Amino acid sequence: MEEVSRNTSRSDYYSIFQFIGWISYFLLMAGLLILNRTISSLSILELLPNASLCVIGFFLTHGFRYLLKKYRWNFLPVPRLIVLVLVLNLLMAVISTAAIQQISRWVTFALVSGDLALLLVNNFSLFVFWSGIYFGISIFRRYRKEEIERLRWEGALKEFELKKLKSQLNPHFVFNALNGIRSLVGEDPEKAKLAITQLSSILRNSLLSDRAQTISISEEIKTVLEYLNLEKIRFDERLEFEVTIDENCMDREVPPMMIQTLVENAVKHGISRMVKGGKIIVQGEFSSDKLHISIANSGNLGSEKSGGFGIPNTRQRLELVYGKEASFNIFQASPDMVMAQLIIPVKNK
């Protein structure tokens, strides 16, 4: 139904422009005659050839368009299409010239051979001009349609890739969390119960945010804190953390589970490999229409670069959501501290 409505709308636009175009041509020709002659000396019969050409041209070009659409000539190879259009334009010029000559005879003044040849050339030029406009609009519309289809396809592909990456996040996180809880079951059952409660809360937030492409930092930080509290149960005094986010950042948006994934990466490949444990510092500020988020953790970059799911996943998701506008970097900030930095363009809710 929508396609039928769209085609009907296009046909209506064509009819309107076709009518306006030929009327405008007649008025232009009449205006030129008036400039060359005074209105009082201008005979109404002298306007008849131009009026006839407009009426005849209207129907001839409409038939020309009908044949193009019916036999799909506009999908012919360009060289063949050009030849076909020129032949049809010449045919329309001959028909219109012969018709105007006959009409002129009926109103008592016939066109001389010189005028007839000039009229034929003018008519042919006019139909070529009409064809140029028609095909120009058709090519533009076809290009626009293809561009829209391309953007839709790219959008669908991007959405598919994002969903694929999101689907990788939860299983990966759950696997790590369950491993940690398993180690607590025998050592401290009460802590294991608390850890399961924390994990349930994190998964609930994750499922709610999984439908969105971006969520507010306040929601993301809530998940981060729940995750760190969960890991605090497992590591106890070996893990310290500090989360400092500017208030003016809280309503800004980031891809869900992105900060949490980097924090998880810092715990798994940084803190867990240190006998004495370490510290994780999460900071966020808003500057120059961009979010600047950093996740620092005790550790050495060499061990973190050798593995870790969070780093490649973060880069891919940033590329899909923000293109080249966002950036991600991880480096050794000091001899005993690794830092991951995110710079994300602002997306308000």
pLDDT tens track for 266-291: 888 888 888 888 999 999 998 888 89
61-65 contact pairs (CB < 8 A, 24+): 61/18, 61/92, 61/127, 61/130, 61/134, 62/18, 64/88, 64/92, 64/131, 65/14, 65/134
Mean per-residue pLDDT of the chain: 78
More confident site: 47 or 218: 218
- Chain segment 137-171, per-residue pLDDT in tens: 888 887 777 777 766 666 555 555 555 555 555 56
Which stretch of 105-109, 146-150, 264-268, 340-344 has the lowest confidence by average pLDDT? Answer: 105-109
At residue 104, what is the residue type? S
Q: What percent of the chain has pLDDT over 90?
A: 19
pLDDT for the residue 240: 93
Query: Is the pLDDT score of 70 beyond 60?
Result: yes
Average pLDDT, integer, range 226-242: 85
Query: Is the pLDDT score of 258 beyond 50?
Result: yes
Query: Is the pLDDT score of 33 beyond 70?
Result: yes
Average pLDDT, integer, range 117-140: 88
pLDDT for the residue 112: 44
pLDDT for the residue 86: 92
Residue spans per domain, the chain = 2-150, 188-345
Query: Is the pLDDT score of 81 beyond 50?
Result: yes
pLDDT for the residue 5: 45
- Chain segment 170-221, per-residue pLDDT in tens: 566 667 677 777 777 777 787 778 778 777 777 776 665 556 678 889 988 9
pLDDT for the residue 87: 93
CATH class label, 188-345:
alpha beta
Query: Is the pLDDT score of 299 beyond 80?
Result: yes
